[in-house]
Amino acid sequence: MSTVPRAPGAPPGPPLWLLLELTYRCPLHCVFCYNPVDFVRTGAELDTQAWLRVLREARELGAVQLGLSGGEPLSRPDLEVIVAEAHRLGFYTNLITSGVGLDEPRIRALKAAGLDHIQLSFQDSTRQMNDFLSSTRTFELKARVAALIKQYDYPMVLNVVLHRLNIDHVEDILAMAERLGAEYVELANTQFYGWAWHNRERLMPSRDQVARAEAATMRFRERVGGAMRVFFVVPDYFESRPKPCMNGLGSVFLTVTPDGTALPCHAARMLPGLEFPNVRARTVREIWYESQAFTHFRGDGWMKEPCRTCPERHQDFGGCRCQAYLLTGDAANADPVCDRSPHHHLVTAAVARADAGAEEERPLVFRSPANSALLSS
Amino acid sequence: MSAPIRAESRPALDRRFRLQWEAAQSAHVLLYPEGMIKLNQSAGEILKRCDGRATVAEITADLERAFGVTGLAADVTAFLGMAAEKRWLTVVA
């Protein structure tokens, strides 16, 4: 989203982007999921009326892009009701789905409710790897869902999360996307949070793998021209400057988790010292403008060196607070992706281990309620 | 890549985009899958007239009437060319 950073001290703008994680229930068990590993501890899901109230309150503040995610949002039988209200309020509605549960009656009902867009995830280009990486038998189902998406005249957006185990298949993945009639393809390298963080040593690609995948993407773009738009999101561990994560916390982005907890980023629940408000108890307006969780990292007052005096601090906002916390133990440190960070060696060391060959014997941990219970104890 | 913009062309918003007024931003925005472009005033005024029926000449005349100015043709054509290049618009020659 093109957003001009505000001058320091200027009043905060509205939460333009609202992401509702409607449920953590999911038929897939992806090893790279960014959901919290302790998701089984999450409280009861909000009911329909509570979600509708969140939509109304956020829209009143100026929220306009709506992501409906999870878990698998189709696990909620009231998804159509939520979409219909969002559409009535003027949101642009994006469904972010594995496709499981999207049969013809449901896509017809979602279309009638005003759903604008469906982003369908694939785990790989072959049934074997797709099904292994998600620990399900869903490859053919996804191909059927892709056909339904075309049939119902949606822009076709495929999302494939890349990592060490599938990044060498980029050429095949793009060929599959072309066969399915995709208009946009997001090749999103794994961001290491949640389950992906837990599995990082198995999922981190080598530099060679990333370079080959980028080259394959370039060749594909040259061949298809403007007919398909292919986004290749470079894994940030391979960069020397951090991503402008969320345009800075509390700047444009608001997530509500299944139990109503409001977060300034979908991974932020891990950050210590933040008191996350719940939409059951507070209005979206109070949450956005007043709560400590949303004001603490807003602006640049929280920054330490080297960010505090860095000329680029209003371009990347110090990078990602969650990554700073995961890698250095202090969320106010510079994101170690930045080569000005005194902790940058932690990132280069992780990449060096990947270049040398990952620890193949370390078991992959699949996202499941049983594993979540194990990792929560 | 896209057709040249002529006075008799009839531009229409591409079906992948939705144009709407956002009071909170005091601006027209273009919405598309997981994204948004905030438009300046003139861009919003031009795009909202691109309904696939009005010609470029009619759109220009309407803008000149609405804002009490003349000589907008070159600016309107240049903007429409850029918008077509970005695939915000499809242009029926």
Give pLDDT tens digits for B54-83.
Answer: 999 999 999 999 999 999 999 999 999 999
Residue B72 lies in a domain: yes
Peptide bond into A71 cis (omega under 30): yes
Rounded to the nearest 5 degrees, what angle is found at the Cα of A344, between the Cα atoms of A343 and A347?
110
- β pairing state of A92-97 and A117-122: parallel
Q: Look at the alpha carbons of A198, A199, A201, A205 in this order and tell me if their dihedral is positive or negative.
A: negative
Q: Can you state the percent helix, strand and coil of chain B, rounding each to 5?
A: 40, 25, 35
pLDDT score of B33: 87
pLDDT score of A373: 93
pLDDT score of A8: 53
Residue B66 lies in a domain: yes
Instruction: Tell if the CB–CB gap between A61 and B33 is shorter than 8 Å.
Output: no
Instruction: Tell if the CB–CB gap between A64 and B29 is shorter than 8 Å.
Output: yes
What is the Cα–Cα distance from B88 to A261, expressed in whole angstroms?
37
Burial of A234 (0-12, 13-18, 19+ CB in 10 A): middle
Residue B88 lies in a domain: yes
| Interface probe, candidates A92, A121, A253, chain B, greatest B C-beta count within 10 A | A92
Task: Summarize pLDDT for A125-147 with one digit per residue, the tens.
Answer: 778 887 877 777 888 888 899 99
Instruction: Tell if the CB–CB gap between B22 and A64 is shorter than 8 Å.
Output: yes
Residue B86 lies in a domain: yes
Option in A2, A90, A155 nearest B16 (CB): A155
pLDDT score of A9: 59
What is the Cα–Cα distance from A352 to A359, expressed in whole angstroms?
12
pLDDT score of A4: 47
Residue B85 lies in a domain: yes
pLDDT score of A130: 78
pLDDT score of B3: 65
What is the Cα–Cα distance from A101 to B38, expressed in whole angstroms?
35
Residue B62 lies in a domain: yes
> Residue A253: CA atoms inside 13 Å, Cβ hemisphere, count?
21
pLDDT score of A358: 60
Residue A115 identity (one-letter amino acid): L
pLDDT score of B26: 95
Tokens of A252: 């444009």
Nearest CA of chain A to the CA of B20: how many Å?
Answer: 9
Residues on chain B touching A117 (C-beta within 8 angstroms):
33-34
Residue B19, pLDDT above cutoff 90? yes
Closest residue of chain B to A14, computed from CA coordinates: B24
Residue B30 lies in a domain: no
CB atoms within 10 A of CB A11: 6
Please give the residue range of the domain that contains residue B83: 10-14+40-92
Confirm or reject contact between A15 and chain B (CB < 8 A).
Answer: no
Tokens of A319: 């990078």
Residue B33 lies in a domain: no
For helices A127-134 and A139-151, the axis angle rounded to 10 degrees is 100
Instruction: Tell if the CB–CB gap between B29 and A90 is shorter than 8 Å.
Output: no
Tokens of A129: 């790897």
Residues on chain A touching B35 (C-beta within 8 angstroms):
1, 65
Q: Domain count of chain B?
A: 1
Tokens of B89: 């618009």
Confirm or reject contact between A94 and chain B (CB < 8 A).
Answer: yes
Q: Beta-strand (E) ranges in chain A? A: 17-21, 65-69, 92-97, 117-122, 156-162, 184-189, 229-233, 253-256, 262-263
Q: Which residues of chain A have pLDDT under 70?
A: 1-10, 358-360
Tokens of A243: 């991503």
Residue B91, pLDDT above cutoff 70? yes
Burial of B1 (0-12, 13-18, 19+ CB in 10 A): exposed
Nearest CA of chain A to the CA of B70: how many Å?
Answer: 32
pLDDT range class, residue B1, cuts 50, 70, 90: very low
Which alpha helices (DSSP H) does A63-169 contain, by range? Answer: 79-89, 104-113, 127-134, 139-151
What is the Cα–Cα distance from A225 to A221, expressed in whole angstroms?
6
Confirm or reject contact between B25 and chain A (CB < 8 A).
Answer: yes
